[in-house]
Structure 1
Amino acid sequence: MSGASAITSGPGLFTEPLILLIAAVIAVPIFKRLGLGSVLGYLAAGVAIGPVAQIITDSSAIFDVSELGVVFFLFIVGLELKPARLWAMRADIFGLGLAQVALTGTVLTAVFWAVGWAIQPAIIIGFGLAMSSTAFAMQILQDNNEIATPYGEKSVAILLAQDLAVVPLLAIVPILSPMTGTSLASASGVALLKGVAALAIFVLAGRYLLNPLFRLIALARAREIMTAAALLVVIGAAMLMEEVGLSMAMGAFLAGVMLADSSFRHELEANIEPFRGILLGLFFIAVGMSINIDVLAHSWWRILLAVPAVMVIKAALLYGLNRLFGASHNDAVRTSMLLPQGGEFAFVLFASATAARTLWPSETPLVAGIVTVTMALTPLSVWLGRFLIRGEAEDTIEEDFEGAGGSVLVIGFGRFGQIVSQILLARSLDATIIDANPERIRQAARFGFRIYFGDGTRLDMLRAAGAEQASIICICVDQPAITNQIADLVLDEFPAAKVYVRSWDRAHTLELVGRGVHYEIRETYESALAFGADTLKGLGFAPADVQATLADVRRRDAERLALQAAGDLTSGREIWKPVVVQPEPLMPPKPPGARHRPAGTVTPPADGSPVPASPSAEPAAEKPERQLEPNP
């Protein structure tokens, strides 16, 4: 009976997770392929299975679980921010961030009061909408790898300040309620004491408890317990902060900061990352499912007016405050277009206000709908922000090319050009080096190199650098298109010079050969050959065998390159025949008096072409089975 019961209850238990996974797997790749991002994909999946198809109608339970995705995400962000770096951001957190909350909340309160709302709900709505979505903003920053950029750090600082503002905002709710007479001073005082106590616990635990705990668990060598400990720390920190009135995300973030200097940081990040990804996606799906179609249909004109008004006001204030605190125009635009939406905390604040009758239940769906729509429009606002970005001012250096000219002209002083230049300078050759990156030139000057600032695609720069007197012009830049442009210019204008070029890959090599350069080399070719040679040596192959193998590889590569130059990239494939390794049984049969071939013997190709020599040419009858005996 129990077995039958388990079987019949099984499908109901897994139906909703299965539907959520199917929706995500279908929607997210499509939206990514269209260039709309994964966040919109998750939102579309939630809208499809929720308000549109009515497959899952209750999003509240999914919200409760998916909030852990935001918690885990903030923990990982905290791991990347060491306490010293967080301290360096204090001006942005307590200056820019808190100014944003206060100013935006005040302006939005005034707007909602002016259009007819009572002052108490106007305050709740105004400051609720002043918050931005940590989940949406951080996901976009991570997708674009921009968390560590100047505008990314300012955005993170603003989000942290908003989390800190949770305590006073929740304390204000009962003050504004007509059902309570609690004094503002006492409520705020208790909340402040709780917050300070929680922060003290965090600092002490991070300093004296967490690292010893993980060190002890690591000694047990049980990987699953390390994962369980990581989850324990994150969820425990989040719940502690929630108990004192702060957000769970803030608790997880602080736990991550406390462990940012730990030697277990990468292990913790690897253990949390799988949970973070799927749960954060679930959060976005839940946001899409929470969109109330009936409210949108009934009050569509109010939402149509409120959503762009809120987003424009927030973006304008964010831009002005960022400029006031020293951000460039482009960074201010990026931040303002990333954070104009309402945030997850608004749902919590509105629910608290509804319970205290500061906000009437009939009003809650409308303001929640405004928050949800602004969140859904975040990817669009980020995209629109690109059109407000000005061209970055180019960093230049005034250059007179005094003393330039020599037998060799090197164009490009990156990682490749630096090594080439060192070899030339080691022989005291009269070489001129130019590069178009001003910061690289300044760095080179600190190490005693005299590098000229110049753009290799400009004929006047090349002439000023002495290209007409050079015997060899070395093109060492790392962009294939720029390399081709410089090669064409040099070949046309300076026919007396030999042109040596750094190639990007095999296809680029063929392009350069077709252009008629005198010498080219793929940037990783020789290093890969050296790496492979040392690998053979490490396996015990004799130096002579290694050199023979390298010579054979070089010959085959040159033959195929010649065929490709005359044909296309598919030409010459027959030159590289796969080397077949004959597997042997563990106990190979041996006739009496016969010696068997050592395990792993390579069978030569049918055409008789050479193959790499084996580690030892001697028979191995006296050696243990499947043992490799290296040559001396």
Structure 2
Amino acid sequence: MEQHAQDFLLQDGFLLLGTALVFVLLFRRLGLGATLGYLLAGAVLGPYVLNLIGDPQGKIGIAELGITLLLFIVGLELAPRRLWRMRGEIFGLGLLQVALCGLAVTAVIHLLAGFSLEAALALGLPLGLSSTAQVLPMLRSAGRLHTPFGERSFAILLFQDLSIIPLITIIAAMNRNPGLPAGPPGWQLALTTVLAIAGLIAAGRFLIRPLFRLIGNLGEREMFVFAALFTVIAAAALMQILGLSTALGAFVAGVMLADSPYRHELEADVEPFRSILLGLFFMSVGMMLDLSAIAQRPAFVISMAFALIAVKSTVIFFLGLLFRMEWRNALALGLLLSQGGEFGFVLFAQASQAWLIRPEAASLFGAIVTLSMVTTPFLMMATRRIREMPANKEEREGPQDEEANALVVGYGRFGQTVAQILLAADIKVTLIDTDTQMIDVAGGFGAKVYFGDGTRIDLLRQAGAANAELILFCIDGDQLTENFLHAVHNAFPKAEIHARVFDRGGLLRLKDAPLRSITREVMESAVVVARHALEGLGVSLEDIDRAEDIYRARDKERLSLQLEAGDLRAARDRILTQPIREEGGE
């Protein structure tokens, strides 16, 4: 019996790995991404096509460790203070996305598909969530996870993970099955979550860090792998025992180790396991794709998948505009998060047990989720030209690694002055911008400006940032975030980073960013205008210098107090509102 089970394990492993290898290589070659390859490989091996692999539900339980490891790695890249700075988008944009998308999809299912309100809620609210397992790898492979766009995407996904608890509570509250034991009330789940997170934080500080310090002192390289996997699985197991999100537990464990000296070692150790298990997860999803349900009601499945994508894309697009995203980025965000998520399978099963929906409906909407996940890579490819900045119908040359000493991102009025002074000092400069009209004008004057989005880590690397001594962001300051600048600093530690902001509000927003210098563009020009005005009145040069010194001293003091308080309204008494008389002092 034991030998028989071992033979099946080896056979399943051979088929899973071999089929994944073939399909992923093929789909990568076609530019369709690995996720679609894994899904199709699973569908081919599953019970509805070749039926070579059994028990996809059992395998998805193991494969969900891939999502857990993925969230742990993401947590390693987000130090607690960086996560705290994202709180507005997590609980603002994330909350609105989950609520509005869930209710909008519920309305579509109730009004158009004819489900009862309870059944529509049990189906629609889970469909408002997106696939963390699909979206995060897409952002990582594109080098956009630590850009402002990537951070907004991650903020939404993180809140979706937190929202599992209230969604479970809502489904439990609507339970129609008298034989199903009542779950704990919502307040108890929320309190349990807070206590569990606090426990993980304490364990990370007082147990896990000393453990890694001990292993580091012993010099046992392979023990890091054991300890890393133990940390992830222990955090996930604790959350599972408490009936909470295992991925959330792993994420908190990662955040607690993000600012430790072992972060990069842990990431390197866990990454191979994450890749394999996440691939197995998508294959399990593909195996669970009920092709017979699709064959029985193909029009319903396809139309509902289309409605799901259209509703979520539209809602998220307008939310992006509300949060002051450029419309192309808002459209990209909507399409990227338009699919259903892996937590839908869990919540559909719970709704079926609670007699809110029939098992056939759970299977049918599981197929809708899978179909929506399949469409995401195609949607992103099909809309690439719309989402990217227009290039005047000409193919633009991207930046190349030319071993420049400095990268200047943004070649507008500000960047032109900066670049020309650097060139006058015999510094080799690579210029990057997205304004194609400006690129053409600059080319007419002999300046070589490369087309590209300088807020993408992968593009900066392609432009030679790894060897550059300077990276100067001369773009509008609101395009920069502290998290992005930290990511640039971590990716290119040899380069000094300089940035421009419009005013003191922008400076306050980037106060903790790893910048060698940060300049308010409106300040120096305003000082020059004031000096010219005083000269015109016949004020002596000595008095002009004295007036400038007084202003600069007060402004420096006020700015220091504002940075300390984190409040733009601080130290208002340092603003000059009345003339200063020399006899009486200030």
Does TM-score exceed 0.5, indicating one fold?
A: yes
- Trace 1:302-451 onto structure 2 (pairs within 5 A): 302-389=300-387, 391=389, 416=404, 440-441=415-416
Gapped regions of structure 2 (runs ≥ 5): 393-399, 432-437, 452-463, 465-586
* Separation of aligned partners in 2, 1:302 and 1:460: 56
Query: Residue 524 of structure 1 corresponds to which residue in structure 2?
Result: none
- Trace 1:94-113 onto structure 2 (pairs within 5 A): 94-113=91-110
Query: Residue 42 of structure 2 corresponds to which residue in structure 1?
Result: 46
* Separation of aligned partners in 1, 2:128 and 2:215: 43
* Separation of aligned partners in 2, 1:348 and 1:251: 17
1:388: Cα distance to partner? 2.8
Query: Residue 229 of structure 2 corresponds to which residue in structure 1?
Result: 231
Contact 1:93 1:161 in 2 (8 A): yes
Contact 1:195 1:245 in 2 (8 A): no
Query: Residue 27 of structure 1 corresponds to which residue in structure 2?
Result: 23
1:253: Cα distance to partner? 1.1
TM-score of the two chains, using structure 1 as the length reference: 0.63
Change (3 A) 1:70 1:97: same
* Separation of aligned partners in 2, 1:369 and 1:477: 48
Change (3 A) 1:307 1:415: same
| Bigger radius of gyration among the two | 1
1:336: Cα distance to partner? 0.7
- What SS does the aligned partner of 1:377 have? helix
1:300: Cα distance to partner? 0.9
- Trace 1:493-508 onto structure 2 (pairs within 5 A): none
Q: Which letter does structure 1 place at the counterpart of 2:130?
A: S
- What SS does the aligned partner of 2:92 have? helix
TM-score of the two chains, using structure 2 as the length reference: 0.68
* Separation of aligned partners in 1, 2:181 and 2:7: 52
Using the aligned pairs only, state the percent identity.
39
Contact 1:436 1:456 in 2 (8 A): no
* Separation of aligned partners in 2, 1:18 and 1:157: 38
- 1:461 and 2:459 are equivalent in the alignment: no
Change (3 A) 1:371 1:221: same
* Separation of aligned partners in 2, 1:417 and 1:333: 35
Q: Which letter does structure 2 place at the counterpart of 1:79?
A: L
- Trace 1:12-411 onto structure 2 (pairs within 5 A): 12-50=8-46, 51-115=48-112, 116-179=114-177, 187-389=185-387, 391=389
Query: Residue 11 of structure 1 corresponds to which residue in structure 2?
Result: 7
Change (3 A) 1:385 1:413: closer
Contact 2:45 2:52 in 1 (8 A): yes
Change (3 A) 1:476 1:235: same
1:198: Cα distance to partner? 0.8
- Trace 1:536-615 onto structure 2 (pairs within 5 A): none
- What SS does the aligned partner of 1:178 have? coil
Structure possessing the higher relative contact order (Cα contacts under 8 Å, 6 or more residues apart): 2
* Separation of aligned partners in 2, 1:25 and 1:441: 49
1:449: Cα distance to partner? 6.4
Change (3 A) 1:170 1:90: same
1:393: Cα distance to partner? 9.8
Change (3 A) 1:184 1:291: closer
Q: Which letter does structure 1 place at the counterpart of 2:80?
A: P
1:123: Cα distance to partner? 0.5
Change (3 A) 1:46 1:418: closer
Deviations 1:532-576 (A, max 9, x none): xxxxxxxxxxxxxxxxxxxxxxxxxxxxxxxxxxxxxxxxxxxxx
Number of residue equivalences: 433
* Separation of aligned partners in 2, 1:307 and 1:157: 24
Q: Which letter does structure 1 place at the counterpart of 2:75?
A: G
* Separation of aligned partners in 2, 1:456 and 1:387: 20
- What SS does the aligned partner of 1:55 have? coil
Q: Which letter does structure 1 place at the counterpart of 2:204?
A: G
Q: Which letter does structure 1 place at the counterpart of 2:200?
A: F
User: Which segment drifts farther, 200-209 or 361-370?
Assistant: 200-209
* Separation of aligned partners in 1, 2:401 and 2:42: 51
* Separation of aligned partners in 1, 2:8 and 2:105: 45
Contact 1:417 1:477 in 2 (8 A): no
Deviations 1:579-620 (A, max 9, x none): xxxxxxxxxxxxxxxxxxxxxxxxxxxxxxxxxxxxxxxxxx
1:319: Cα distance to partner? 0.4
1:46: Cα distance to partner? 0.9
- What SS does the aligned partner of 1:219 have? helix
Contact 1:174 1:180 in 2 (8 A): no
Change (3 A) 1:10 1:104: closer
Q: CA RMSD in A?
A: 3.3
Gapped regions of structure 1 (runs ≥ 5): 395-411, 420-432, 463-474, 480-503, 505-632
Contact 2:90 2:155 in 1 (8 A): yes
* Separation of aligned partners in 2, 1:76 and 1:459: 43
- What SS does the aligned partner of 1:362 have? helix
* Separation of aligned partners in 2, 1:232 and 1:416: 44
Deviations 1:242-273 (A, max 9, x none): 33333211111111111100100011111101
Contact 1:101 1:162 in 2 (8 A): yes
Change (3 A) 1:282 1:33: same
Q: Which letter does structure 2 place at the counterpart of 1:342?
A: G
Change (3 A) 1:345 1:7: closer
